[in-house]
Structure 1
Amino acid sequence: MLLVAPIALVTACHGTVGAPSLALRPVEAQPVELPAPASETETPLDPTLAGRVEALVATAEDSQRAFDARRATTEKAVAAARGAPAGSEAWTVAQQELSALVVARGPVHDINAQVDALRQEPGAAGTANRALIDATVKQLAAMDAAQAAAIEALQRRLR
């Protein structure tokens, strides 16, 4: 009974409020027409930027070859450690090889970030430049993801 009395007093104070309704108004129900996207004129590829991107891709490809060579060594070490107890000599060697493989992944990851950062340069604002950067970042991201997947697969085999 003591709890009902304060509630009854609060509800008794309720009156009509003169504030506007929050219901949807007819003008708000009408569809909004968006402006047509601005057309952008094609711009030629900047040869300096293209040369920089090409050099970075070549470095990434060299790093991929080094990663592949290290991966072969790591796969042998992981196969030799299969079933070995944690802390054993074979297991330790496999862990060290996995660590070296993670380090070998670094250059491709870093190069991808460098190419992606080229977007911020004023000379990269042209359509052809952006298309080159976008395609290269996509290529390097796929390379980086494949390396990460290879490392993860080897780590799972070692557990």
Structure 2
Amino acid sequence: MRFILLLSLTALAGCTESTGRYPSLLPRPIESTSLAEPERPAVVATPDAALDKRIAEIRGTLAEGIKAFTAGAQDAEAKIAVSRGLPQGSEAWLQAQVAMGSLAELRRPAVSVLSELEELATQRGVDGLPPYPALDAAVAEADQAATQQQNRIDSLEAALGGTGN
């Protein structure tokens, strides 16, 4: 019995013995690992003479389209001014309507150019190529032109809608 008592006390002593090793409250290595995207140097697009030439051609088309649209918008604006105070269906009102219809057609080059430029930019991305600054600038220019033209059409339509009854 004495042996059992001694064995029991030894076993209990093992349970209560302090080793001085408690779990650390310091961050574990996995907790100090960053999950942020690694910094990668920006890839710079190399000059592409063929693409630069294509962008220049497209910008030329855009410039011609802007010039034609501006002339058409001025014509429509003049016809709308003449139709003020006249009833809908009058000759001047019909001419203003026709001029407004031609504006939608004159806006087509800007929209077409924008679509073509965006397609070129998208294809560069699909091919894994970095953005091309000249192409991005041309896209922004075409987008601005198309937006301004639509805004001008909207304001002219509002002015035409305010003419006669």
The TM-score range, normalised by the shorter chain, is 0.7 to 0.9
| Partner of residue 102, structure 2 | 100
Does residue 66 of structure 2 align to residue 64 of structure 1?
A: yes
* Structure 1 pair 64–138 and aligned structure 2 pair: CA distance change class (3 A): same
Asked if 2 retains the 8 angstrom alpha-carbon contact of 1:115 and 1:137, the reply is yes
Pairing 1:74-153 to 2, within 5 Å after superposition: 74-122=76-124, 125-127=128-130, 130-153=132-155
CA RMSD of aligned residues (A): 2.3
Length-normalised TM-score, structure 1: 0.73
* Correspondence for 2:7: none
Deviates more, 1:113-122 or 1:57-66: 113-122
Corresponding residue of 2:38:
36
Moved more, 52-61 or 129-138: 129-138
Work out whether residues 45 and 132 of structure 2, in 8 Å CA contact, stay in contact via their aligned partners in 1: no
CA positional deviation for 1:39:
2.1
Between the aligned partners of 2:52 and 2:128, the Cα distance in structure 1 is: 13
Quickly say closer, same or farther: Cα 1:151–1:122, change in 2 above 3 A: closer
SS of equivalent residue, structure 2 residue 132? helix
**Structure 1 residues 43 and 130, CA gap change in structure 2 (3 angstroms):** closer
Amino acid at match of 2:110: V
TM-score (norm 2): 0.70
Q: How far is the alpha carbon of 1:122 from its aligned partner?
A: 4.9
**Cα shift at 1:88:** 1.5
Distance 1:146 1:41 in 2: 33
Structure 1: stretches of 5+ with no match in the other structure: 1-31
Q: Which of 144, 156, 162 is residue 154 of structure 1 equivalent to?
A: 156
Q: Which residue does the alignment assign to 1:19?
A: none
The structure having more radius of gyration, on CA atoms, is 2
Structure 2 residue runs without a partner (length 5+):
1-33
